Copies of this chain bind each other. A is one copy, B any other.
Amino acid sequence: MYRSHTCGDLRVAHNNQEVILSGWVQGIRDKGFMIYVDLRDRYGITQLYFDEESTPKDIITKAQKLGREFVVQVKGKVVERASKNPNIPTGDIEVLVTELTVLNNAQVPPFTIEDKTDGGEDIRMKYRYLDIRRNPVKNNLIFRHKVAMEVRKFLSDGGFIEVETPYLIKSTPEGARDFVVPSRMNEGQFYALPQSPQTFKQLLMVGGMDKYFQIVKCFRDEDLRADRQPEFTQIDCEMAFVEQEDILNVFENLTKHLLKEINGVEIENFPRMTYDDAMRKYGNDKPDIRFGMEFGELNEVAQHKEFGVFNDAELVVGIAVPGAASYTRKELDALVNWVKRPQVGAKGMVYAKCNEDGSFKSTVDKFYDQDDIANWAKITGSKPGDLICVLSGDANKTRAQLSALRMELAERLNLRNPKEFAPLWVIDFPLLELDEETGHYHAMHHPFTSPKPGQLELLDTDPGAVKANAYDLVLNGNEIGGGSIRIHDKEMQATMFKHLGFTPEEAKAQFGFLMDAFQYGAPPHGGLAFGLDRLVSILGGQETIRDFIAFPKNNSGRDVMIDAPAFIDDDQLKELSLKLNIQE
Chain B residues contacting A370 (CB-CB under 8 Å) are: none
What's the tally of chain A residues with a CB closer than 8 Å to chain B? 126
- List residues of A (526-580) whose CB comes within 8 Å of B's CBs: 549-551, 553, 556-559, 561-569, 572-580
Does the CB pair B550–A164 fall under 8 Å? Answer: yes
Please report the C-alpha to C-alpha distance between residue A163 and residue B550 in the assembled complex, in whole angstroms.
7
Please report the C-alpha to C-alpha distance between residue A230 and residue B517 in the assembled complex, in whole angstroms.
25
Does the CB pair B578–A171 fall under 8 Å? Answer: no
Please report the C-alpha to C-alpha distance between residue A566 and residue B192 in the assembled complex, in whole angstroms.
9
Please report the C-alpha to C-alpha distance between residue A498 and residue B543 in the assembled complex, in whole angstroms.
45
Provide a sorted-by-A list of 10 A–B residue pairs whose CB atoms are within 8 angstroms.
Answer: A2-B242, A129-B206, A129-B207, A129-B520, A165-B551, A167-B231, A168-B231, A178-B572, A182-B182, A190-B565
Chain B nearest Cβ from A516, distance in angstroms: 8
Does the CB pair A488–B567 fall under 8 Å? Answer: no
Does the CB pair B207–A128 fall under 8 Å? Answer: yes
- List residues of A (132-175) whose CB comes within 8 Å of B's CBs: 132-133, 138, 141-142, 144-145, 148-149, 152, 156, 161-171, 173
Does the CB pair A566–B520 fall under 8 Å? Answer: no
Which of A138, A208, A551 neighbours the largest number of chain B CB atoms within 10 Å of its CB? Answer: A208
Chain B residues contacting A107 (CB-CB under 8 Å) are: 519-520
Residues 388-424 of chain A, each 1 if its beta carbon lies under 8 Å from chain B, else 0: 0000000000000000000000000000000000000
Judge whether A343 is part of the interface by a CB distance below 8 angstroms: no
Chain B residues contacting A203 (CB-CB under 8 Å) are: 128-129, 551, 561
What number of copies of this chain does the assembly contain? 2
Please report the C-alpha to C-alpha distance between residue A307 and residue B48 in the assembled complex, in whole angstroms.
73
Residues 173-200 of chain A, each 1 if its beta carbon lies under 8 Å from chain B, else 0: 1000111111111111111110000011
Contact of A149 among B152, B163, B520, B573 (CB under 8 A): B152
Least CB separation from A184: chain B residue: B221
**Which one of A98-106, A324-332, A446-454 is at the B interface?**
A98-106
Does the CB pair B577–A582 fall under 8 Å? Answer: yes
Judge whether A489 is part of the interface by a CB distance below 8 angstroms: yes
Please report the C-alpha to C-alpha distance between residue A523 and residue B224 in the assembled complex, in whole angstroms.
36
Does the CB pair B129–A186 fall under 8 Å? Answer: no
What secondary structure prevails in chain A residues at the interface with B?
loop
Judge whether A24 is part of the interface by a CB distance below 8 angstroms: yes
Judge whether A69 is part of the interface by a CB distance below 8 angstroms: yes
Chain B residues contacting A242 (CB-CB under 8 Å) are: 2
Chain B nearest Cβ from A525, distance in angstroms: 10
Does the CB pair B69–A521 fall under 8 Å? Answer: yes
Does the CB pair A145–B132 fall under 8 Å? Answer: no
Given pairs A129-B517, A132-B204, A166-B551, 9 additional interface contacts (CB within 8 A): A128-B203, A141-B209, A163-B550, A180-B181, A181-B181, A183-B565, A186-B565, A513-B562, A578-B580
Which of A24, A128, A231, A580 neighbours the largest number of chain B CB atoms within 10 Å of its CB? Answer: A580
Please report the C-alpha to C-alpha distance between residue A48 and residue B105 in the assembled complex, in whole angstroms.
74
Chain B residues contacting A184 (CB-CB under 8 Å) are: 177, 221
